């Protein structure tokens, strides 16, 4: 009988290095291609269709998660790790798939935003953090004062919850600067 897989989460605000930490972690594992599956949600179109990409240019090939994808079509007896980038955008039904994988002894390493631009818990992240074996809270540098930042401040005057963008729409801010009225 296989042992339970580990759930490892890298989380924080925009520009905190979550994807960099994910790529570094999976690189450090030294797994063969058939032992690792990397996925991102289809809504994230910033780095192209089949890669995850950091703000400093590191890339890693990946599969694209669509709501109707069957993750177990990609899992075989050699799979040891599933890595998920931008996990806050995954369908909430995906949580049961993650639990199934962990039960089969497959580890899951995920990165994503813990809070949306209104500072509310975002998507799957609260449930994943509760379930996680390891949690790595990453912080960015506040764009206003230079202190440690935990918030994704939206610069654009747009009220839709999901607005995919980078520094064109967002900046990292500490709590004091996030709560100041502009």
Which residues are part of the catalytic machinery? 86
Q: What share of the chain is helix, strand, coil (3-state, %, to 5)?
A: 25, 30, 50
Q: Which residues contact 31 (CB under 8 A, 6 or more apart)?
A: 80, 81
Q: For residues 128 and 132, what is the distance between their CA atoms, to the nearest angstrom?
A: 6
Report the DSSP pairing between strands 148-149 and 81-84: unpaired
Contacting residues for 148 by C-beta, under 8 A, at least 6 apart: 139, 140, 141, 142, 174
């Amino acid at each position: 009988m296989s042992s339970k897989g580990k759930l490892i989460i890298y989380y924080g605000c925009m520009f905190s290095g979550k994807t960099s930490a994910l790529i570094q972690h999976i690189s450090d594992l030294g797994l063969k291609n058939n032992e690792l599956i990397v996925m991102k949600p289809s809504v994230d179109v910033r780095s192209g269709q089949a890669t995850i990409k950091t703000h400093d240019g590191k890339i890693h090939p990946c599969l694209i998660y669509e709501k109707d994808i069957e993750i177990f079509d990609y899992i075989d007896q050699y799979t040891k790790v599933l890595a998920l980038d931008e996990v806050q955008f995954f369908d909430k039904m995906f949580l049961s798939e993650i639990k199934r994988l962990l039960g089969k002894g497959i580890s899951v390493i995920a990165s994503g935003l813990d809070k949306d631009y209104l500072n509310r818990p975002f998507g799957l992240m609260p449930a994943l953090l509760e379930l996680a074996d390891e949690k790595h809270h990453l912080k960015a540098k506040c764009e206003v004062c230079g202190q440690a930042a935990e918030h994704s401040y939206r610069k654009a005057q747009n009220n839709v919850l999901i607005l995919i963008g980078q520094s064109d729409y967002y900046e990292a801010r500490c709590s004091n600067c996030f709560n100041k009225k502009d």
